[in-house]
Amino acid sequence: MWPMRPIALYLALLIAAVYANSLDIGFHFDDEHALERNPAIRSLVNVPRFFVDANTSTVLRENKDLRPILLTTFALNYAISGTAPWSWHLLNLLLHWITVVLVFRAVRDHLWLGKERVLVAGAAAIVVAVHPLATEALDYLSARSALLTTVLYLAAFDAGVRRRRLVCVVCFTLALLTKAIAITLPVVLLGHALLDRRRGERPVPWRLVATLAALAVAGLGYRALLVPSAALRATHAADMTAGRYFMTEWSAYLYYLRLFVWPDGLVVDRLDYPTVHSLFTPRAWQSLIGLVALGILAWRARFRFPALTFGAFWFAVTLAPESTFFPLAEPVNGHRPYLALFGLGVIAARLLWACAGLVARARLLRRAPAFSVAMTLVTIGLGVATVRRNDTWRDDYVLWLDAVAKAPTNPRAWLNAGHAAMAAGRFEDAERLLLEAHRMSPCYSYVLINLSAVAARSDGAASLRWADEAVACNPDLALTHLYRAAALERLGRIPDAFAEYERTTTIDDYNAEAWRAQARLLEQREAWADAASTADRAFAADPTVAEAAMQAGLLYQYRLHDPAAAVARYRSVLHLVPTHYGARYQLAVALFALGHRDEARSAWRTFEGMATAIGDRTSIEAAPPELRAP
């Protein structure tokens, strides 16, 4: 029995080696609305809200969820490094390291292995540590939900098997508050206990299993009570029934197994994964036969190779919440099998040990050296694949071109490739990619609004036509109205644009961009009071938009002659951006107008230093002479 410390250190070095090129991977896909634009995670003061307000999870109405422990980790990362990704990835790597250490501990101590338990446990941990199937859970920051849930789930499993009830219950509760997939733990513990009992070990811990089952039900009720019904309905397409999804997922299980064995098909998005509509479809019944055959093999191994049986059981059960009767937007997802990797790692390690035994019986090499050679080759091969996959994630445009190449019938991949091309300034490529997405899915609203944005650079009328089409396809989506309003405004149709901005905020009260646009158009009408209150609405919708508060401050100061209100807005701006040049200047002027002379001169000295540093004498000389006086 090796001590845990050197093994944990070795696993840490291994993870550092294969993920060294991941620390500067930026934000992708859902990160934009869940992390980059999410005002709730900008302050640790919001942590209590995470437990009761699903609106804190994202700025998109359709993606609301309740994951308070996950959001707390996001808020901690933002407090440390803002939107610089290094601290986010460091925490992900720490969580991954804890996962593989727990894998080693659980396999070594709980899976009925003999003298080989340390070697098999180490092999399982190494496979989980370096396998590229884990890259999406680590490289894609929004997918931390799978990563953090796995850590807590494994900790609860380990504590439950050791009969440490309090630790098990606490870890399980935290896992439920991270992601609902944790609900399967009572079933996993029950399966382990029944295998234990068959081998003459301890009795089934019925009381603990019942407690965990009650917590799982309570967790689902808590989520159903607080997550908006519209968000729950938006988790899947309207025509995706539970039965269709269930039959589709039979092949999904085999898809994940295939990626584990040969991970060359890893892709960020598989929206094109074929849906099964009938049991008589070959994809359905052939997949079902394959799964049943594998299940029979695993069951027959329960006496001689119980670790194999439990690994298969873990894989099947932990995938079940997202791969059986609860339809989700995508039938398969790259980060979904992260929790199931424990079971797959156990199976791989145990099979490699068995193969090493065959080599030893053939007298080619002793068993332990043969196992070591095999594990070295596996580790190198998987590690190289992981490093390459990390490189793909480092560039958004490259990531989505990779998705287009591997899933060419996926319109969302073409859409996101087009969006990434726009962000990179490759507008001709963007138009080509978006038009291909439109060809595949003519009424895909997000494709249409991006085509409207591309056309806006040179053809305002075409931009409006695309936006009109987007509204016609999805009139309940706020963004379609926002893009149509912008197109109307560019064409000079201001009353129509204002009405469309109003429709945007009627659908989505948290759309700060639409509120700011309304404030800007109200300024043009010289409706100063309405413009100021609307700018305030924009800042309330998204308290990270400093320019909304700045806009309101200027209106209160110069149009409504309310310097006290202006001071409050400028201070909000400086709280977000302490070096905001305009807010520093205007704060000093507003304080002086308010009669707070000492505060005004202190604020002015700060601004004067900033202005002098860049040689801006014009702004200094434009200030009231009394303010500039020594």
Nearest to 606 by CA among 570, 576, 581, 577: 581
Q: What is the mean pLDDT of residues 448-456?
A: 95
The pLDDT, as a whole number, for residue 236 is 66
The span from the CA of 407 to the CA of 420, in Å, is 17
Cα distance between residue 139 and residue 543, in whole Å: 28
Quickly state the pLDDT bin for 568 (edges 50, 70, 90): very high
Q: What is the pTM of this model?
A: 0.89
As a whole number of angstroms, the distance between CA 113 and CA 600 comes to 74
List, for residues 404-425, the tens digit of each pLDDT value: 999 999 999 999 999 999 999 9
Q: Is the pLDDT of residue 1 over 60?
A: no
Look over the chain and give the mean of its residue pLDDT values, rounded to a whole number. 93
pLDDT for residue 238 is more than 70: no
Structure tokens at 541: 């919708």
Is 128 in contact with 99 (CB distance < 8 Å)?
yes
- What pLDDT was estimated at residue 216? 96
Residue 3 is predicted with a pLDDT of 73
Between CA 524 and CA 494 the distance in angstroms is 10
- Where residue 273 falls among pLDDT bands split at 50, 70, 90? very high
Cα 30 to Cα 140, 141, 170, distances in angstroms: 9, 9, 29
pLDDT digits (tens, 9 = 90+) for 15-49: 999 999 999 999 998 898 899 888 899 989 999 99
> Domains plus CATH for the chain?
4-393 (no CATH), 511-630 (1.25.40.10)
pLDDT for the residue numbered 199: 66
Q: What pLDDT shows up at residue 289?
A: 97
pLDDT above 70: percentage of residues in the chain: 98
Q: Say how far apart CA 111 and CA 123 lie, in whole Å.
A: 14
Mean pLDDT (whole number) for 141-166: 96
Kindly state the average pLDDT of the residues 273-283: 92
pLDDT single digits (tens) 174-200? 999 999 999 999 999 999 999 987 666
- Identify the residue whose tokens are 């396809």: 473
Residue 135: per-residue pLDDT: 97
Task: Give the number of other CB atoms < 10 A from CB of residue 223.
Answer: 17
Task: Tell me which residue of 458, 432, 463, 430 sits closest to 448, measured CA to CA.
Answer: 463
**Res. 598: pLDDT tops 90:** no
CA neighbours closer than 13 Å in the CB half-sphere of residue 607: 27
Sign of CA dihedral 310, 315, 319, 324: negative
Residue 2: pLDDT band by 50, 70, 90 thresholds? low
pLDDT in the model for residue 228: 82
Three-class DSSP category at 572? helix
Q: Alpha helices, DSSP H only, in 320-444? A: 341-361, 367-393, 396-406, 411-423, 427-440
> Can you tell me the mean pLDDT for 70-96?
96
**N- to C-terminal Cα distance for the chain?**
76
Question: What confidence tier does 201 reach under pLDDT thresholds 50, 70, 90?
Answer: low
Cα distance between residue 351 and residue 329, in whole Å: 35
pLDDT attached to residue 395: 93
Give the separation between CA 310 and CA 161, rounded to whole angstroms.
Answer: 13
Give the pLDDT band (50/70/90) at residue 235.
low
Average pLDDT score over residue span 320-327: 90
Assign 128 a pLDDT band (cuts: 50, 70, 90): very high
Output the CA–CA distances (angstroms, integers) from residue 292 to 130, 253, 317, 418, in the order listed. Answer: 29, 12, 14, 42
The closest alpha carbon to 338, from 158, 179, 112, 217, belongs to 179
pLDDT at 241: 87
The whole-angstrom separation of Cα 346 and Cα 331 is: 25
330 SS3 class: coil
Show the DSSP H helices in 162-239 as ranges: 165-176, 185-198, 206-226, 229-233
pLDDT category at 100 given cuts 50, 70, 90 is: very high
